[in-house]
Structures are given as structure tokens and as C-alpha cells.
Amino acid sequence: MVTTTRATAMGLSGVIATPHYLASGAGLRILQDGGNALDAAIAANAVLGVVWPFMCGIGGDMFIVICPADGTPTVLNASGRAGAKGTAEFVRAAGHEKNMPNKGPLSVVVPGCVAGWQIALERFGTRDLASLLGAAISLAENGYPVSPRLSEGIQSQSRHFNNAARETFMPNGRIPQTGDVQRMPQYAESLRRIAREGIGVMYDGAIGQAIGKHLESVGGHLTPADIAAHTCNWVEPAKVKARGYEVCVAPPNSQAILHSMAFGLLDGFDLGEPLRAQSAHLQVEALKVSYRDRTRIADPDFADVPLASMLSDAHLAEGRATIDPKLASRPMVGATAGDTIYLCAADRDGNMVSLIQSLREPFGSGVMVPEVGIMLNDRARDYGLADGDPNQIAPGKRPRHSLTPAMALKDGKPAFAYGTSGGDGQPYTVLQLHCNLLAFGMDPQTALDAPRWTIEPAAAGPAVGSIAFEGRVSPETIEGLQGMGHSVRTIDDFSDDCGRASVVQIDHERGVLLGGADPRSDGVALAF
């Protein structure tokens, strides 16, 4: 029995769930004004780039799974690429022999978010981008109260800030405290220029050129020409059928197939009761099997990614046969940290949106471009450097991506949208949401409030670690897992290490829209 922190939001005309209440409010206003789910999601995403600037912003990248009411899902890949100088040799010459740097100019890829907003709106939106940026511009210019998470993020990451970032987030050299008013005037002006001049200003215009010139001047692999050349792609979702649902996720270069494959592997097992040892054991073991394919995931424009084979019934059956329902196999691989926003929305017409956007780690690269106020991502940290690695950095290549949004269709209609923050821990959290929603039949808020597990070390991987279960789980579950051979320990309830997720649902039978927001975030789900 899960004790919920709040009621599931329910309405007849629209629903949105985000990790910050100001973003949810902005999205709801768009829905109430007649906008659709995509319009609302983009308005909310823009606000999150202001009020949660350590998590996301227009210096980052994005994936969106969109399903219109006709039941034909599609995916927009708005992730960024390496620059013309983005080679292993160039990175090694800068003093990084084995791994990409986590921070600094070499860790940046082209920011794809703004182009993604525009391209998505052109195909599925009902509003223009300028009309959706108003709330974000107002908050950036006039200010907003600092949340505890933002204050903590600035404190923990300020050592990585360049001067422009320090001046923005630490005025007078002081870390803002909870409730202090934070303003971002340069960021507001960049958003205003995008609204006024169109997205060209972000790429081959003044803002994009400022980004490229600054990165080139401080040793990055990106140039102004690389920023100007950015494109996004519409791609077919990767699909797995299980337990009466069709789960649709972003295909590679995203690693979202890991959690959907794991859910497919579980289709042959009795999961028992939620939050018990049997269900947790099987979920962990299924992920161990799906993770065998992780190194094959890369940018399919540069590497052979046998997606059809990896998602085939035969491959899933082969993996399923290796799972012992009573005994743990080798230890699981731990998750690297990451900060991201995930949000989802649905509208009165039956359209559904699953959107994820990120700077990768907190405050991304730590590099803010002077004069434009844009914090840049550190997504290039996810490339490999080793020769022969399908994920090795190369000019124009996208890295293997931790962003893993999901959507589930029932009888050919969009039923659930869900996803989470959490870096490489996202597959762990999303698999639990698959099971809570699709296998155990939980409503959105109950699915989010349920105790979760992750794999330690959550912030020091990848490395072998124990299952870390939130303390609300029963002692019998812990003892049962240990009896199967798992290393298990408990962590704080509602731990940030277990992601910050959101869920929306369309109950087609009753004509009701439902939503839930994670108590591990500052968010709410709102419906009307």
C-alpha cells in the first residue's frame, strides 16, 4: 500500500505535470487559453530554463515524443553535435588522454533546444514560439524566488563557473539563499531576441555567433559555423509491446531502449506484488540483461546500431532465458549523475507530449557565454575517446544520450507519458514507472509516490554498486532481496538520487485527463 503525498490531478480539458510549480502554472495558462499539449509543454520548458537554470535552458538539448490524437507517435531528436574540431586527437592534445572532460568548453555540444521548439511547433503546435516565451521572459527579467534546490545547486557547482556565470548566479560574490529574488536580465534579453527575430538568431545570428566565437576562443571544439549548421531530426520511435501496451521511446542516440527492453523482458514473468522482493529483483535483473547492449548505442549516422535486432522478440526471449527468478546474477552497474527536467502534457483533443530537456550535469559545462547569459551544456562528456568505440567523438556526431522520455499507447491511442531526470539512472526510474503504471495499474500520483530504488553509487559511476532502496520500503522486501543475493542498503525517503519524474494519463474510457508530479521535485500536476 502506497501512501500518497497528494491527490492525482484530474480534469476534462487539459493536464500538465512539471518539476516546478511556476512552470506547471505557465503551461496550464496556455491550455486554458486554448493552446494544445505541445504549446503548453514548450511554454513550461521555457520557464524551467529560468527557475531551474541548473537543470535546463536554451544552452541544452532535448528529445520530445509526440502522439497526436490519431495515435501515430513520432520523436523529435533535438540533441546537439560535436564541432568541426571535435576529434579524439583534438581532445587528447588538450590534455585529456582517456576520458572527455566533465566541465569546460570541450564538454559542450551545439545547443539544440530552441531549434527543437520551433520545429515541433511548425508540425504540431497551434501557437508561435514568441507567444509561448512571455512567462519565461517576465520571470527572467523581473525575478523569481530562489528555491532550496537552486541555492544548493549554486553552492555545490560555483567552483565550475566562469566569470559570467558567477556574476549572474552569485551577485556580489554571494550565494543566494532560499527566498532571495534571482534575476537573469541577459537571459531575458536573449529570449526576447528569439521571440522577436526568430530562431535564426540562436544559430546563424548574433546569439549563435557569440556562442561559437566564445567557445572557439577558450579552446572548445565548436565554431560559429558549427552552431549555424545545427539541425534537428524527426525519427520513428523505438517500440516494444508488453502487457497490453505499446511502449514508444526515443531511439538511439538515446539509450531509452534500455528501459523499454527491460520492460519487454519482464513480459514473461509474474511480477508478484509491487514493492516486494520478487518484483524488484526481476526489474533489476531485466536491466542487467538490457545493459549488455548499452555499448552498441551510438549515433546511427556514424555507427551500425542494430535496433531492429535488439528489440526483436528473439533477442528479448534470449535475454529472458538468462534471468533466474530467484537468484541475483552479477552486480548491477551504477549510475552517473545528471540534472535534467522532464515534463508531460495532454489536452482535450487527445494529443500527448513527453518532453525532456537538459544541460546534462548541474549548470552544464559551467560556461556561460558573456553578453547573452546562456549557460552551456556539458553533453560532450558522454562521448568516448578510445579508438574503435562506436561512441567516439567525431565532427557532427551526437553522443550516446541519457535523455530517455517514454510514452505508452493502449489500443492504438496515447495512454501515458512519463519520464524522469537522473542522468544514467533514468532507465532505473523509468522501468519502475513502466511497472507501476502499466503492470500494477497505479494512478499517476501513486506511481510517483511509491518508494524507489537506484543503483549506487548514484554520483560516482559508472561503477558496480548496491541496490539503494528508499527507506519507506518494507524490511521484508530488503530481506527478500538479500536472500536472493543482492547487496541492498536504504537511503533517504524521496531521494533525489531516484530521479524527479512526471506522469500524465488519458483515460479514454471515461474521458478524463490525469497527472502526477514527483514529491522529489518542486513540481505539481495541474488539470482543468
- Out of 8, 168, 336, 340, the active site residue is 340
Asked if residue 518 and residue 372 are part of one domain, the reply reads no
Q: Which of 443, 431, 427 is nearest to 242 (CA)?
A: 431
Residue 470 contacts residue 453 (beta carbons within 8 Å): yes
Asked if residue 446 and residue 422 are part of one domain, the reply reads yes
Residue 517 contacts residue 345 (beta carbons within 8 Å): no
Q: Which of 483, 495, 430, 476 is nearest to 276 (CA)?
A: 476
Question: Domain end: 382, 411, 435, which one?
Answer: 382
Cβ-count burial of 493 within 10 angstroms (0-12 exposed, 13-18 middle, 19+ buried)?
middle
- Quote the cell numbers at residue 524: 505539481
416 in any annotated domain: yes
Asked if residue 353 and residue 209 are part of one domain, the reply reads yes
11 in any annotated domain: no
pLDDT at 423: 84
The model's pTM: 0.96
The three-state secondary structure class of 245 is strand
Residues 6+ apart with CB under 8 A from 28: 14, 16, 40, 526, 528
Residues 6+ apart with CB under 8 A from 523: 17, 18, 19, 20, 21, 23, 24, 500, 502, 517
Asked if residue 290 and residue 142 are part of one domain, the reply reads no
446 in any annotated domain: yes
Buried b (16+ CB within 10 A) or exposed e, 142-171: ebbebbebbbbbbeebbebbbebbbbbbee
pLDDT at 240 over 60: yes
Asked if residue 218 and residue 149 are part of one domain, the reply reads yes
pLDDT at 231 over 90: yes
Asked if residue 175 and residue 113 are part of one domain, the reply reads yes
pLDDT at 464: 58
pLDDT digits 0-9 by tens, 293-320: 999 999 999 999 999 999 999 999 999 9
Q: How confident is the model at residue 120 (pLDDT cuts 50, 70, 90)?
A: very high
pLDDT mean across residues, the chain: 95
453 in any annotated domain: yes
Of 242-256, 335-349, 487-501, the one with minimum mean pLDDT is 335-349
Residue 504 contacts residue 417 (beta carbons within 8 Å): yes
pLDDT average, residue stretch 394-419:
97
Asked if residue 324 and residue 265 are part of one domain, the reply reads yes
pLDDT digits 0-9 by tens, 414-430: 999 999 998 888 999 99
294 in any annotated domain: yes
Asked if residue 347 and residue 330 are part of one domain, the reply reads no
Question: Domain end: 351, 382, 413, which one?
Answer: 382
Percent of the chain with pLDDT over 70: 97
Of 111-125, 307-321, 327-341, 488-502, the one with minimum mean pLDDT is 327-341
pLDDT at 92 over 80: yes
Asked if residue 149 and residue 251 are part of one domain, the reply reads no
Asked if residue 211 and residue 154 are part of one domain, the reply reads yes
pLDDT at 333: 62
219 in any annotated domain: yes
End-to-end CA distance of the chain: give it in Å, rounded.
28
The CATH number linked to 327 is 1.10.246.130
pLDDT digits 0-9 by tens, 260-277: 999 999 998 999 999 999
Q: Which of 405, 414, 404 is nearest to 245 (CA)?
A: 414
398 in any annotated domain: no
pLDDT at 2: 83
pLDDT at 338 over 80: no
- 353: β partners: 66, 345
- Quote the cell numbers at residue 395: 565532427
Residue 169 contacts residue 158 (beta carbons within 8 Å): yes
16 in any annotated domain: no
pLDDT at 71: 85
Give the total number of structural domains in the chain. Answer: 2
pLDDT digits 0-9 by tens, 32-45: 999 999 999 999 99
Of 58-72, 327-341, 450-464, the one with minimum mean pLDDT is 450-464
Asked if residue 102 and residue 204 are part of one domain, the reply reads yes
pLDDT at 203: 98
Domain extent, residue 27, equals: 22-234+341-382
Indicate if 340 belongs to the active site: yes
Asked if residue 301 and residue 411 are part of one domain, the reply reads yes
Question: Domain end: 352, 382, 412, which one?
Answer: 382
